[in-house]
Structure 1
Amino acid sequence: MKPYPLQCQPEFKERVWGGRALEQFGHELPEGPIGEGWMIGDHPNGTTKVVNGELAGLGLDQIREQYGEAFFGSKGFSKKNGRFPLLIKLLDCQDDLSVQVHPNDHYDRLPEGELGKTEMWYILDAKPGAKIIYGLKDGVTRESLAAAIEENRIMDALNEITVEAGDSFYIPSGTVHALGAGVLVAEIQQNSDSTYRLYDYGRLGLDGKPRELHIEDSLNVIAYENAGSTYMKTNLTSSNEWLTLAQSPFFVTEKGQVEGSWSLQTSPESFVIHIVCEGTGKLRWADGELNVKPGECYLLPANLGEYSFEGSLTILRSYLP
């Protein structure tokens, strides 16, 4: 079978902090507040199925089993569990998310086969004044944070940042963080669903009960000195060139502006994932083409070879280092 760019049916997740903003991308959402669209995933809690071409109807796990290294590349599998190593999401935050932290791969209380979670955010849209929580204030220790939690003043220990569209945040495991109300986000992360909540504003879950907190696990996995988190503005000064947003042991994410035609190529080592952020155009390869628009995510097999984008587009590119 000839390789081609794969597009998946998103797995939509109802979240107490979600809304309906993902409808703007043409998605048909289930009822309720939808906070997450899992756009490309191969996880027990959500495995996406291909909707285009010869492989339509197959889950990403089935494609992994049938086509293996040819499609995903020599690096394209988690060493810990053999699954697809990344999870790609779009997040609609109509309310503040819980203050949370993620473990690394080596935390001994992870469920068997589960990965840690290093991730990055690219802000697609933000209401004026929208904020996120990003890291601890200088000098906060495990002891002082535990005391702040006990005394219900955790917010005093946290950094808040006002955000706007185009901001990019790298969030290694161990970084305390929370998205705030009024942001729409593309998230590239390790293939993990492990989140430890430190604080949730006394909020009730969708079931009407208080949401579980994970204080001990959180205190255990926080990187109190510096997890290596970085953030940046991503204004591009030229087209058809890549700006590196995140370079981690688990993924590289770059941003580019397509103007006209931009010829690119995959490598045998890794698949490539493209997220369309703005604009419209075409994705072309040897055997076909697709019209592309904002909010769409494409998985390009490692053996696709040469391809190009045409039109006027802002895109993100992610691959394995």
Structure 2
Amino acid sequence: MKPYPLLFQPEMKERVWGGRALEQFGLTLPEGHIGEGWMIGDHPNGTTKVVNGELSGLGLDQIREQYGLDFFGSKGFSEKNGRFPLLIKLLDCQDDLSVQVHPNDHYDRLPQGELGKTEMWYILDAKPGAKIIYGLNDGVTREQLAEAIAGNRILDCLQEITVEAGDSFYIPAGTVHALGAGVLVAEIQQNSDSTYRLYDYNRLGLDGKPRELHIEDSLNVIAYEGSGASHMKTELASANQWLTLAHSPFFVTEKGKVEQAWQLQTSNESFVIHIICDGSGSIRWADGELTVKPGECYLIPANLGNYTLTGSMTVLRSYLP
């Protein structure tokens, strides 16, 4: 089986805060408020299937079983559950998300086989004045936060940041956070669906009932002394060079601008994921070429070797450290 860049059929998720903005990437959406497109996933709650080439129709879990070591690389498996270690999403936030926090891998109340969730956001688009919640105010303790929650004053404890396209946010497990209305986001994260809600604006879910909160779990996993979260502007000084956006124990994510042919290479340790943010171009390798467009997310097998990005486009590159 000769390796080639894999494109997947996204798993679309309806969310009370979602909309229809993912249609701008040419994606077909089911009816409803679509908040998440799981673009590359190998999780019980969503497993994507290949839509191009010889492996078309196979799920990422089947690719793992048949070609895992060759395609994913020696580091390309979760040590905890053996699955593909990352989950790649596009998020359309037409309304505010719940204020939430994610556990780390070691939290003893995680479901069996589930991972913690360290993640990062790259803002693809943002309406003027769009905001996110990003961390606690300095000095907030567990006791103070619990009192604020009980008194319906939690927003007084949270930092709010205005965002624009090109902003990048690293969100280690234990970071209190929430995307706000009016942002379109690429999310790279551990392969996890574990979210604890602290506050949800007293709104009703898609079923017409209040959505569940997870106050005790949230208070348990928050990193009150700081989680290592960081954010940055990502303007690029020149083309065909990588700017590191996040370097975590679970993934490295970089941003680059393609202006002329950019020759790259995989290693036998890790796959590479490319998210096409804007522009147009192609991926060339020894046995073929694919035309790529914004919103597409490609899994480059670890054993592909040399490949070339061409055209004029902004791309994210993620791999295992």
Tell whether the structures are fold-level matches, with TM greater than 0.5: yes
Q: CA deviation at 1:284?
A: 0.6
Q: Give the counterpart letter for 1:131 in structure 2.
A: K
- Tell me the alpha carbon deviations over residues 137-174 of structure 1, each in whole angstroms, 9 at most, x when there is no partner: 00100000000000000000000000000000000000
Q: CA deviation at 1:257?
A: 0.2
In structure 2, C-alpha distance between the alignment counterparts of 1:192 and 1:131, rounded to whole Å: 25
Q: In the alignment, does 2:60 pair up with 1:60?
A: yes
In structure 2, C-alpha distance between the alignment counterparts of 1:96 and 1:2, rounded to whole Å: 44
Structure 1 segment 31-42 matched on structure 2, within 5 A? 31-42=31-42
Q: CA deviation at 1:68?
A: 1.5
- Tell me the alpha carbon deviations over residues 246-299 of structure 1, each in whole angstroms, 9 at most, x when there is no partner: 000000000000001100000000000000001001111100011111000000
Q: In the alignment, does 2:273 pair up with 1:265?
A: no
Q: Which residue of 1 aligns with 2:277?
A: 277
Structure 1 segment 19-168 matched on structure 2, within 5 A? 19-168=19-168
Q: Which residue of 1 aligns with 2:302?
A: 302
SS at match of 2:117: coil
In structure 1, C-alpha distance between the alignment counterparts of 2:285 and 2:125, rounded to whole Å: 30
Q: In the alignment, does 2:228 pair up with 1:224?
A: no
- Tell me the alpha carbon deviations over residues 162-210 of structure 1, each in whole angstroms, 9 at most, x when there is no partner: 0000000000000000000000000000000000000000010000000
SS at match of 2:155: helix
Q: Which residue of 1 aligns with 2:179?
A: 179
In structure 1, C-alpha distance between the alignment counterparts of 2:297 and 2:255, rounded to whole Å: 14
In structure 1, C-alpha distance between the alignment counterparts of 2:264 and 2:24, rounded to whole Å: 29
In structure 2, C-alpha distance between the alignment counterparts of 1:36 and 1:289, rounded to whole Å: 29
- Tell me the alpha carbon deviations over residues 36-78 of structure 1, each in whole angstroms, 9 at most, x when there is no partner: 0000000000000000000000000000000121110000000
In structure 1, C-alpha distance between the alignment counterparts of 2:55 and 2:311, rounded to whole Å: 27
In structure 2, C-alpha distance between the alignment counterparts of 1:4 and 1:299, rounded to whole Å: 9
In structure 1, C-alpha distance between the alignment counterparts of 2:68 and 2:293, rounded to whole Å: 29
In structure 2, C-alpha distance between the alignment counterparts of 1:313 and 1:33, rounded to whole Å: 29
Q: Give the counterpart letter for 1:182 in structure 2.
A: G
Q: Give the counterpart letter for 1:301 in structure 2.
A: P
- Tell me the alpha carbon deviations over residues 97-156 of structure 1, each in whole angstroms, 9 at most, x when there is no partner: 000000000000000000000000000000000000000000100000000000000000
Q: Give the counterpart letter for 2:264 in structure 1.
A: L
Q: Give the counterpart letter for 2:261 in structure 1.
A: S
Q: Which residue of 1 aligns with 2:212?
A: 212
Instruction: Provide the alpha-carbon RMSD of the alignment.
Output: 0.3
Q: Which residue of 2 aligns with 1:193?
A: 193
Q: Which residue of 1 aligns with 2:7?
A: 7
In structure 1, C-alpha distance between the alignment counterparts of 2:233 and 2:269, rounded to whole Å: 29
Q: Give the counterpart letter for 1:117 in structure 2.
A: K
In structure 1, C-alpha distance between the alignment counterparts of 2:142 and 2:284, rounded to whole Å: 51
Q: Give the counterpart letter for 2:72 in structure 1.
A: F
The share of aligned pairs that are identical, in percent, is 85
Question: Structure 1 regions of 5+ residues with no counterpart?
Answer: none
SS at match of 1:279: strand
SS at match of 2:197: strand
SS at match of 2:262: strand
In structure 1, C-alpha distance between the alignment counterparts of 2:72 and 2:169, rounded to whole Å: 26
Greater than 3 Å deviation, 4+ residue runs: none
Q: In the alignment, does 2:276 pair up with 1:242?
A: no
Q: Give the counterpart letter for 1:2 in structure 2.
A: K
In structure 2, C-alpha distance between the alignment counterparts of 1:157 and 1:66, rounded to whole Å: 49
SS at match of 2:185: strand
Q: In the alignment, does 2:219 pair up with 1:233?
A: no
TM-score, normalised on structure 2?
1.00
In structure 2, C-alpha distance between the alignment counterparts of 1:85 and 1:310, rounded to whole Å: 28
In structure 2, C-alpha distance between the alignment counterparts of 1:318 and 1:285, rounded to whole Å: 18
